[in-house]
Amino acid sequence: MKDHLDVLEATSIYILREAYANFKNLGMLWSIGKDSTVLLWLVRKAFFGNVPFPLIHIDTHYKIPEMIEYRDHLTREWRLDMIVGTNQGALDAKQTFPDGNVDRITCCKLLKTQALKDTLSGEGVRMRFNHSTARYEVDPSSEPFTGIILGVRADEEGSRSKERYFSPRDRQSEWNISEQPPEFWHQYNTEFAPGTHVRIHPLLDWTELNIWEYIRREEIPTVSLYYNHGNGKRYRSLGCYPCTFPVDSQSQNVEEIVAELKTGKFANVAERSGRAQDKDDGGSLETLRKDGYM
C-alpha cells in the first residue's frame, strides 16, 4: 500500500514529466534550499538518474558560503548542467541593502527578481559550469526559457498558496493572480498563448514536514545549516546572510527535525520568519512575486 510520501512523489514525478513533454525550453531553479534539493532528487528519479534540462541558480553574492560550496559540489558529483545568473550591474553600483544604499525590498528586486528575469529571458549574462575546465564560463546562448520548474510549496507563505501547478506569467514574467487557470481532479492546462512564460510547481501540495520526512526516507544530502551544531540554533529557510536568521532549535539531524515538527513547536511561527525581507513586504512575498520573484 502506498503511503502519503509515495502519493506525493508520484504526483510530483507526473508533473515533471508533463512539463518536460510540453515545454521546449525548460529549466529548473535550484536555490540550494531543502525544497529545491528534494525537487532535484525527484527530477533524477523521474528521468532515471538524469537531469534533462539546465539548473539555474540566482547568485546575489550574499548567499551563505556553505550554500555555494554545496551547489558546486553536487554540480560536479552529479554532472549537472548548471547556469548561474547575477545582476552584476546592481552589485557594481552598490545598489544593495548590505552596502546601505537601498532598502531590503529594493535589494531583492534588483539582486533576485531582476537577475532572475534577465537570466530567464536571455538578456542577462549567464555563467555556465564547464565540466571540462571545472570553471564557470560565460554562456553564449541567449535563448529564453519558456518554462521554469520551482520548488514552491503552498504552505510556505501566503502568496504561494495562490499558485497553480502550471502557472502562467506574461512576457515580463509578471504574475496576475486573477488569471490563474483552474486545476481540478488532476487536470492541468499546459497550453498557453505564444509568449507566455510558465512556472511549474511540482511540490505545491507538500508540507515542511513532508519535505523532511522525504529527506529522511531517501537520505538526501542537504547543507548542514539546517542542523543545530551546539549553539541551540538552526535555519528553517535559507537566503542571503545579511537578511536571514536562524531559529531556536536543538535538532541536530533529520530525525530530530521530523520529531520537532511533529510536536507542533512551529505551528504558529512562519517557516520564513527568519527572512527579513518578508517582514518588510508586509509579512509575505506577494509584492516581489507579482514582479517575477520566485
235 and 185 co-located in one domain:
no
* pLDDT for residue 141 is more than 90: no
pTM, full prediction: 0.88
| pLDDT score, position 170 | 67
196 and 72 co-located in one domain:
yes
Mean pLDDT across the stretch 3-12?
A: 95
Stretch among 160-174, 239-253, 278-292 having the lowest mean pLDDT: 278-292
119 and 11 co-located in one domain:
yes
Residue where one domain finishes, among candidates 166, 187, 206: 206
pLDDT, tens digit (0-9, with 9 covering 90-100), for 84-133: 999 999 999 999 999 989 999 999 999 999 999 999 988 888 999 999 99
Residue where one domain finishes, among candidates 206, 236, 269: 206
- How buried is 174 (Cβ within 10 angstroms: 0-12 exposed, 13-18 middle, 19+ buried)? middle
Residue where one domain finishes, among candidates 206, 236, 258: 206
150 and 229 co-located in one domain:
no
Mean pLDDT across the stretch 219-235?
A: 96
235 and 125 co-located in one domain:
no
pLDDT, tens digit (0-9, with 9 covering 90-100), for 175-221: 666 667 766 667 777 777 777 788 999 999 999 999 999 999 999 99
**111 in a domain, yes or no?**
yes
* Helix/strand/coil (H/E/C) assignment for every residue in the chain: CCCHHHHHHHHHHHHHHHHHHHCCCEEEECCCCHHHHHHHHHHHHHCCCCCCCCEEEECCCCECHHHHHHHHHHHHHCCCCEEEECCHHHHHCCCCCCCCCCCHHHHHHHHHHHHHHHHHHCCCCEEEEECCCCEEEECCCCCCCCEEECCCCCCCCHHHHHCCCEEEECCCCCCCHHHCCCCCCCCCCCCCCCCCEEEECCCCCCCHHHHHHHHHHHCCCCCHHHCCCCCCEECCCCCECCCECCEECCCCCHHHHHHHHHCCCCCCCCCCCCEHHHHHCCCCCHHHHHCCCC
| pLDDT score, position 204 | 92
* Structural domain span for residue 255: 212-277
**25 in a domain, yes or no?**
yes
Instruction: Give the number of domains in the chain.
Output: 2
* pLDDT for residue 279 is more than 60: no
What percent of the chain is predicted at pLDDT more than 70?
Answer: 85
**Band of the pLDDT at 57, cuts 50, 70, 90?**
very high
77 and 140 co-located in one domain:
yes
164 and 65 co-located in one domain:
yes
pLDDT, tens digit (0-9, with 9 covering 90-100), for 206-215: 999 999 999 9
